[in-house]
Amino acid sequence: TPIPDYLAEVLAACAADASGAVADYIPELAQVEPEQLGVVLATVDGAVYEAGDADAGFTIQSISKPFVYALALQQRGLEAVLAQVDVEPSGEAFNELSLEKGSGRPLNPMINAGAIVVHTMLGDPGDPQGRCEQVLAGLSAFAGRPLGVDEAAYASESETAFRNYAIANMLRSRDSIVEDPEDVVAAYTRQCSVRVTTRDLALMAATLANGGVHPLSEERVVEEWVARQVMSVMATCGMYDSAGDWISTVGFPAKSGVSGGIIGALPGQLGIAAFSPRLDPHGSSVRGVEVCRRLSADMGLHMMDPP
């Protein structure tokens, strides 16, 4: 079967599952059409295959985390970033108020505590606006087209960001961040509110899989060691408290977000993205996870399978 037909078959097989629920702690996310479903594959040599709602827009949410981590690594270097945020799986939910015993660092950059610190490592300290511009420019470079912020989603999340204020205050109390916690959460929330399509996410993932070079624009967005570091952390921490189940069953580095997006990156091969808004208890798209499971099984994408 040609790849687009195969992808359409995968979506058809997953569409019947209407379990899970859209995120509603961000009021704007509760309003989305829950039946949306899309998948896109982007190879490292620039072939793009899609099916379903591949061009529907949604907010990037936590899928911004690996890419902003990449930008921070590129700008500050590995040592400086590791000094602030560790790379150990937390086994906890994305919004847990947790820090590593002893070092006091957030456990990893894929949970909110770590992502908020990583966000503040870009640009000049005390300049949240400049930082937001850098985030937008960086995410756009990964996508290969200019992205924008969904102002309605940003305003909506800002009204209910109590949990992230708690996390930011915890980080401020130990000087992991030095700016006003409310300003930091506002800027981090803008990062999460960048609007993307499933196609954008597949190309962003393919840029990581391609060692930091965008497959179509051929722009080097980050160095190869950065892409390796980011995909390593996605493999161990990208799926929060289901990271172990994910890596053993699906078997490739991945990252999910509460708007229903999920990406996978296969080094040297492929970027994968799927989108469907209803979430499982871990905060990952029910159908997005199932699409990835099927792609992995059908196409033999598990990293631990012999070639």
Residues at the contact surface with ligand GLN, assessed by CB under 6 A:
61-62, 94-95, 112, 157, 164, 192, 257-258, 283
Concerning whether 255 is annotated as a catalytic residue, the answer is no
Nearer to ligand GLN, 98 or 164 (CB): 164
Concerning whether 87 is annotated as a catalytic residue, the answer is no
Q: Least separation, in Å, of the C-beta of 38 and ligand GLN? A: 17
Q: Distance of CA 133 to CAs 74, 122, 190, 275, 295, Å?
A: 16, 10, 10, 26, 35
List the beta bridge partners of residue 272.
41, 264
Does 157 show up as a binding residue in the annotation? yes
Nearer to ligand GLN, 114 or 257 (CB): 257
Q: Least separation, in Å, of the C-beta of 29 and ligand GLN? A: 9
Does 69 show up as a binding residue in the annotation? no
Nearer to ligand GLN, 51 or 107 (CB): 107
Token pair for 225: 């060691």
User: Which residue out of 22, 44, 49, 62 is catalytically annotated?
Assistant: 62
Nearer to ligand GLN, 157 or 290 (CB): 157
User: Which residue out of 118, 240, 256, 296 is catalytically annotated?
Assistant: 240
Q: Least separation, in Å, of the C-beta of 208 and ligand GLN? A: 18
Which residue's C-beta sits nearest to ligand GLN? 62
User: Which residue out of 117, 213, 258, 291 is catalytically annotated?
Assistant: 258
Concerning whether 6 is annotated as a catalytic residue, the answer is no
Chain position carrying tokens 């189940």: 245
Q: Least separation, in Å, of the C-beta of 81 and ligand GLN? A: 20
3-state secondary structure the chain: CCHHHHHHHHHHHHHCCCCCECCCCCHHHHHCCCCCCEEEEEECCCCEEEEECCCCEEECHHHHHHHHHHHHHHHHCHHHHHHHCCCCCCCCCCCCCCCCCCCCCCCCCCCHHHHHHHHHCCCCCCCHHHHHHHHHHHHHHHHCCCCEECHHHHHHHHHCCHHHHHHHHHHHHCCCCCCCHHHHHHHHHHHHCEEEEHHHHHHHHHHHHCCCECCCCCCECCCHHHHHHHHHHHHHHCCHHHHHHHHHHCCCCEEECCCCEEEEEECCCEEEEEECCCECCCCCEHHHHHHHHHHHHHHCCCCCCCC
List the beta bridge partners of residue 261.
275
Nearer to ligand GLN, 69 or 94 (CB): 94
Q: Least separation, in Å, of the C-beta of 226 and ligand GLN? A: 22
User: Which residue out of 10, 40, 49, 65 is catalytically annotated?
Assistant: 65
Q: Least separation, in Å, of the C-beta of 240 and ligand GLN? A: 8
Nearer to ligand GLN, 182 or 223 (CB): 182
Concerning whether 65 is annotated as a catalytic residue, the answer is yes
User: Which residue out of 118, 188, 256, 276 is catalytically annotated?
Assistant: 188
Does 240 show up as a binding residue in the annotation? yes
Concerning whether 258 is annotated as a catalytic residue, the answer is yes
Residues tagged in the binding site annotation for substrate: 62, 112, 157, 164, 188, 240, 258
Binding residues: 62, 112, 157, 164, 188, 240, 258
Annotated active-site positions, please?
62, 65, 188, 240, 258
